Amino acid sequence: MKKYLVAFVIALFPLASFASGGAGPKLDHMAVDLHNQASLQRGMQVFVNNCLGCHSAQYQRYQRAAEDLGMPINLVEENLLLGNQKVGQQMTNTMLKEDSASWFGTAPPDLTLESRLRGPDWLYTYLRSFYKDSSRPWGVNNVVFPDVGMPNVLEYLQGEQVNHCSAEEAQHHEAKIDPLTGKMMGGCMSISKKGQQTTEEFDKTVYDLVNFMAYIGEPSKLDSQRIGTKVLIFLFLFFFVAYALKKEYWKDVH
């Protein structure tokens, strides 16, 4: 028994070192909720209006998203399609990779699988931790992604954020926003110029956006959950049928 216990503890070691994480700030946690259609719909709107200009989500079709998220096709056609796109098309843009690479230093990557690559917590924290830095080409830097080549495209909503600590110091604090002071990263970051949203509203906007990004990363997850429930119901009912059959077959044997 003891031997098994020791083996079990040793087997857990790699998990423990993984959980302790590497360097960098502690990320804010967000619980993805793929059943919250209203949130996913709002997230899609934020994504199309603010991100699709530079990034694509080329493995996702508008129509599939509209169907999965319960949005009427004509509303999506009227409000969310860019230029002369069709609803059956993938969510792409017309920016050429070579152009964007020369404008930004790095081409904006496709975001379909981004939430699987980085994880929702990383995205949720990244999109809220841009701060003013005049030494950078776009005038902003990011605590989670130092020297990032992306401008803070949601600044009009969040406002302008300043970092009172050195970038190094801010890295060591939790990304949580203090509800009393509205400051982030252990008091390092504060809003210096108001945007259109309060801190709470902005957190919600980013939550919806990342929720949507989690959905495009795994669109079949919604299907599998729906099918999974049906399978369980079927198995539950089938149990009674099987049991009745068994009784019937063995009746004469006993």
Stretch that binds ligand HEC, among 20-28, 62-70, 145-153, 185-193 (CB under 6 A): 145-153
Of 42, 55, 128, 183, the one binding ligand HEC (CB under 6 A) is 55
82 makes contact with ligand HEC (CB under 6 A):
no
Cα 201-207-213 angle, rounded to 5 deg: 145
51 is a site residue for ligand HEC (CB under 6 A): yes
> What Rg value do the Cα atoms of the chain yield, rounded?
24
* CB distance 143 to 131 below 8 Å: yes
Cα–Cα distance, 236 to 230 (Å, whole number): 10
Site for ligand HEC in 85-104 (CB under 6 A): 104
Instruction: Name the residue nearer to ligand HEC (CB basis): 59 or 104.
Output: 104
Closest CA to 48 of 111, 120, 115: 111
Q: Which of 82, 78, 74 lies closest to 50 in space, CA to CA?
A: 82
Q: Which is nearer to ligand HEC, 81 or 95 (CB)?
A: 95
Instruction: Establish if 114 lies at the interface with ligand HEC (CB under 6 A).
Output: yes
148 near ligand HEC, rule: CB under 6 A:
yes
Asked if residues 143 and 149 have their Cβ atoms less than 8 Å apart, the reply is no
Binder of ligand HEC out of 57, 76, 144, 154 (CB under 6 A): 154
Binding mask 198-237 for ligand HEC (x = CB under 6 A): -----------x----------------------------
Bridge partners (DSSP) of residue 130 are 142
Was 188 annotated as part of a binding site?
no
Q: Rule CB under 6 A: say whether 155 interacts with ligand HEC.
A: no
CB of 177 to ligand HEC, least distance (A): 18
For the bound state, the minimum distance from the C-beta of residue 166 to ligand HEC, rounded and expressed in Å, comes to 20
Q: Which residue is listed with tokens 């990011």?
A: 142
* Cα–Cα distance measured from residue 69 to residue 50, given in angstroms and rounded to the nearest whole number: 19
Annotated binding-site residues for heme c read: 51, 54-55
Q: Which residues are annotated as a binding site?
A: 51, 54-55
Footprint on this chain of ligand HEC (rule: CB under 6 A):
50-51, 53-55, 104, 106, 108-109, 111, 114, 118, 123, 126-127, 148-151, 153-154, 209
